[in-house]
Amino acid sequence: MDASQAGAAGSAKLTVYEAKKALQEHKQRERVQEGFIHRTYRLIKELAGVDRELSGMPLLSGERKRAERLRVLRDCWAPVCSAADDLTSSAWNYICTLGSDAWDLVLMLAELLITAVYYGRSALLWLWDVFYDIRLSVESNKERLFQFFAGAVCLGAMGAVFISSLTGYEYSYYGRTLGIARDKNDVYQTIEVLGDKLSEATGANVSLDVERDIEFTRVFGWKLDTDGKDDILNTLTYMKDIQVKAFAIAINGEDTVIVEDEETARTLLQSVMNDFAGAKAGVEYQDVHFEESVVINEVNVLLGDIWNTDLAKRYLETGSTKSVPENGASAKLTVASTELSTYYEEIPYGTRYIDNASLYLDETELISAGKNGENKFVARIERVNGEEVSRTLVSSTRVSSPVDEVMYRGTKPLPAREGTGTFDYPLRSYTITSRFGMRWGSMHTGVDFAAPMGSKIYASDGGVVTFAGWKGSYGYLVIIDHGSLYETYYAHCSQLLVSVGDQVYQGQNIALVGSTGQSTGPHVHFEVRYKGEPFNPLNYL
């Protein structure tokens, strides 16, 4: 091949390379301009083609297969993959930068802390050196310093005593000079306790306004004649014309009673109102007022014009200051009230009887207890000073209806009230808890029949009651003489229904079960005696 042919072949190869490169760039531009749907379609298509190619290469490793599929994915979804790579890279760079900055911040704070500790320790050491030097100086000159300090204190005290001996305060009451006090505080403190002493003397709670009532003038002089606290107190207490600020309760424009302060006046009026229209269960007040015009006015009065609170209240309510009002005295205040009162009235139950041939004529037996009914009433009541002047019924409601008591009434003729010679059990229902004979080292002379508290005890046979009352360890006891030298005992009763001398018939209710006397629970101790000697009752029943 000559030179011209070799040049032509090289030129041809260059042309083919440039053509392939241009075609590749064209395809790349087309792919850059592809949309999401077209890229997804191409991804599915090329993945299918790669799977077909890889299926014919069984010896290819799994890692190589995944690399081929990833290549196709990156080629088809290049923008998304590039963006993911950029985001990952940016996030990692941000985290690394943030960590570096945080480490620098930690180092800076550590440096500041170390610096602060260093300078703080230096300052403390300097202060300790200063304190130590002062302490050495004081210890070496402590006697001289003590003498100087003691002298200064003595001079100060002497100066204060000297100045105070030349100074005083002239105190006056409404321009009237009362005396000279060494210190204003003596007067202030005396005024604070003065109210108690004046209250004790006048029966009123009195307090003086120092700023308003007392004036001070500073005075100087050699050996001033000053008043002590007791002198100040006595001077103010025994002034007959002392002026105080008080409050008057004016009724229809006239000052009726005067009390020490406004709160006392309001409390007094409320107390009068509560006495006649105070809170009561089931009562709702619609209106409570004074019929008179009542106002509270501030007044300046003499101390003796102030009323004792109890006397003032009595005067407002009765027109008299005495515990027993005089004839013709009438209340100064009239409390008018309108109330809605809710109250209940009981409806008594009746008794319904059912004849029962198994009971004797004078016997009854409860079947079901009765229950009272109830009516609810609401009334509007008007009162004047607590006295009712009118009542209007607003509503009436049946809350519950009464339930009649139901009782059996005996129709069986009464037997003879004398002994029949046979004995019945004293209870209808019972449990034998102790029998006749020796028990706990002593003789038990009867039989114990246990039953609920209040159960009926019946006469074992007819006869005459010879004892009915309390008898030592027996508690409440009934003894019946049946004739023919036979007696029966019924002990520990809770209630006796017969008296000595009563003639009873067999089966009559004579008492109720209890646990009186020497007893450990509700039962009846029953005895049968012949000629006064006890015998086993179970042999007779």
User: pLDDT tens, 320-339?
Assistant: 888 787 787 888 899 999 99
Edge to edge, the sheet with strand 405-412 lists 351-360, 405-412, 364-368
More confident: 181 or 77: 181
Measured at the alpha carbon of residue 199, what is the angle toward residues 194 and 200, in degrees to the nearest 5?
A: 100
Spatial distance between the Cα atoms of 153 and 145, rounded to a whole number of angstroms:
12
41 inside domain: yes
Determine the average pLDDT of the residues in 255-269. Answer: 89
Report the chain's C-alpha Rg in angstroms: 59
Question: Which two three-digit tokens encode residue 507?
Answer: 């089966």
Spatial distance between the Cα atoms of 483 and 489, rounded to a whole number of angstroms:
14
Do 276 and 230 lie in a common domain? no
The residue among 354, 378, 408 that closes a domain is: 408
Q: What is the pLDDT at residue 325?
A: 77
527 inside domain: yes
- Which domain does 482 fall in, by range? 415-539
Do 421 and 530 lie in a common domain? yes
153 inside domain: no
More confident: 261 or 487: 487
Do 285 and 197 lie in a common domain? no
Number of domains in the chain: 5
Q: What is the pLDDT at residue 83?
A: 73
Spatial distance between the Cα atoms of 96 and 112, rounded to a whole number of angstroms:
25
Query: How far is CA 330 from its chain centroid?
Result: 45
Determine the average pLDDT of the residues in 408-437. Answer: 91
| Residue 346 burial class via C-beta count within 10 angstroms: exposed 0-12, middle 13-18, buried 19 and up | exposed
CB 411 within 8 A of CB 359: yes
The residue among 33, 54, 76 that closes a domain is: 76
Do 429 and 525 lie in a common domain? yes
CB atoms under 10 Å from CB of 496, counted, come to: 19
Q: What is the pLDDT at residue 193?
A: 67
Do 419 and 529 lie in a common domain? yes
Angle between helices 62-76 and 78-140 (to 10 degrees): 100
Determine the average pLDDT of the residues in 371-394. Answer: 93
The dihedral over CA atoms of 36, 42, 44, 45, expressed in degrees to the nearest 10, equals 160
Nearest partner of 540 among 426, 407, 400, 384, judged by Cα: 426
Mean pLDDT of the chain: 83
Give me the DSSP letters along 477-521. EEEEEEETTEEEEEEEEEEE---TT-EE-TT-EEEEEB--SS-SS
Q: Judge whether residue 32 has pLDDT over 60.
A: no
pTM of the predicted model as reported, rounded to 2 decimal places: 0.43
Query: Which residues, including other chains, have CB under 8 Å from residue 60's CB and lie 6 or more apart?
Result: 54
DSSP 8-state class, residue 397: E
Do 304 and 320 lie in a common domain? yes
The residue among 333, 367, 392 that closes a domain is: 333
3-class secondary-structure state, position 180: strand
Spatial distance between the Cα atoms of 369 and 399, rounded to a whole number of angstroms:
19
260 inside domain: yes
Q: What is the pLDDT at residue 33?
A: 58
Question: Which two three-digit tokens encode residue 514?
Answer: 């209890």
Angle between helices 62-76 and 36-55 (to 10 degrees): 160
Spatial distance between the Cα atoms of 489 and 500, rounded to a whole number of angstroms:
14
| Element holding 12 (H helix, E strand) | helix 3-32
Amino acid at 116: A
Do 286 and 355 lie in a common domain? no
Strand partners, 250: 255, 295
91 inside domain: no
Which CATH number do you get for residue 397?
2.20.230.10
Spatial distance between the Cα atoms of 68 and 262, rounded to a whole number of angstroms:
102
Q: What is the pLDDT at residue 139?
A: 79
CB 410 within 8 A of CB 362: yes
More confident: 248 or 152: 248
Among 23-37, 130-144, 172-186, which stretch is predicted with the lowest mean pLDDT?
A: 23-37
Q: What is the pLDDT at residue 526?
A: 98
Q: Are strands 503-504 and 486-496 parallel, antiparallel or unpaired?
A: unpaired
85 inside domain: no
Do 355 and 462 lie in a common domain? no
103 inside domain: no
102 inside domain: no
Give me the DSSP letters along 271-290. HHHHHHH---TTEEEEEEEE
Do 235 and 250 lie in a common domain? no
Do 493 and 515 lie in a common domain? yes
Task: Write the pLDDT tens digit of every residue in 99-145.
Answer: 888 998 999 999 999 999 999 988 998 988 888 888 887 777 777 77
Q: How far is CA 277 from CA 33, 311, 337, 388, 442, in A?
A: 98, 20, 7, 11, 71
Q: What is the pLDDT at residue 421?
A: 86
Which CATH number do you get for residue 437?
2.70.70.10
Do 425 and 502 lie in a common domain? yes
Q: Are strands 463-470 and 503-504 parallel, antiparallel or unpaired?
A: antiparallel
Counting residues of the chain whose pLDDT is more than 70, the rounded percentage is: 83
Q: What is the pLDDT at residue 199?
A: 57
Do 427 and 514 lie in a common domain? yes
